[in-house]
Amino acid sequence: MKLRNYLFLGFVLILSSIGMAGIQEADADKLLGTWEPGDSRSKIKIEKIGSKYFGKIVWLKEPNDPATKQPKLDKNNPDTALRNNPLKGNRILKDFIYVGKKEWGSGSIYDPKNGKTYKCVINMKDDNTIDIRGYIGIKAIGRTDTWKRVILK
C-alpha cells in the first residue's frame, strides 16, 4: 500500500472513533435531568461534573422537620460533623461513569434514612425511566428502585 492509502485509512479511523465517542457521550448525557424516586418523597437532579455523574436532592415533599419546623437535616450521617447539613442540596448519587448500553456504574448512593452508602448501578429502561440498584458487595444483594423523569412544564 502506498503512504497515501495508509494516511487516508488512518484519517478515516480517527474520524470514526471521534464520531463514536460523540454518540456515546450523547447516550451518557441522557441521564441528566431531574428524577423522582418510587416513593415520590423527593426529587433528585442528576448533573455532570467533569466526566462523572452526580445527583443531589432538590425537592422534598416534607422539607421541614415536624418537631422543629426547620429544614430536615442529615441526622443519620455517620460523620457527626455533617449531621447539621440540610437534606435538600445533599449529594446522594456520586461518581457514576457511563459504561455503555444505557448503564452507569462505579458510583454510590447514600440513603439518608439510615446514613449508609451503597455501591450502585443505574440502568435506563427508556428516556423517562431509570432503575437504581443499590447493593452491598455484589449486585445480587441489593434493592432496586424505579425513578421517573420529572418533566418540567
Total domains present in the chain = 1
pLDDT > 60? residue 11: no
Share of the chain above pLDDT 90, in %: 80
Region 2-11: mean pLDDT is 55
CATH number of the domain at 84, please: 2.40.128.520
Region 54-82: mean pLDDT is 97
Residues 6 or more apart from 13 whose CB is under 8 A from it? none
Q: Tell me the residue range of the domain where 98 lies.
A: 3-149
What radius of gyration, in Å, describes the C-alpha atoms of the chain?
20
CB-based burial label for 39 (10 Å; 0-12, 13-18, 19+) = exposed
Region 1-28: mean pLDDT is 55
pLDDT bracket for residue 4 (50, 70, 90): low
For residues 98 and 105, give the distance between their C-alpha atoms in angstroms, rounded to a whole number.
7
Mean pLDDT estimate for the chain? 89
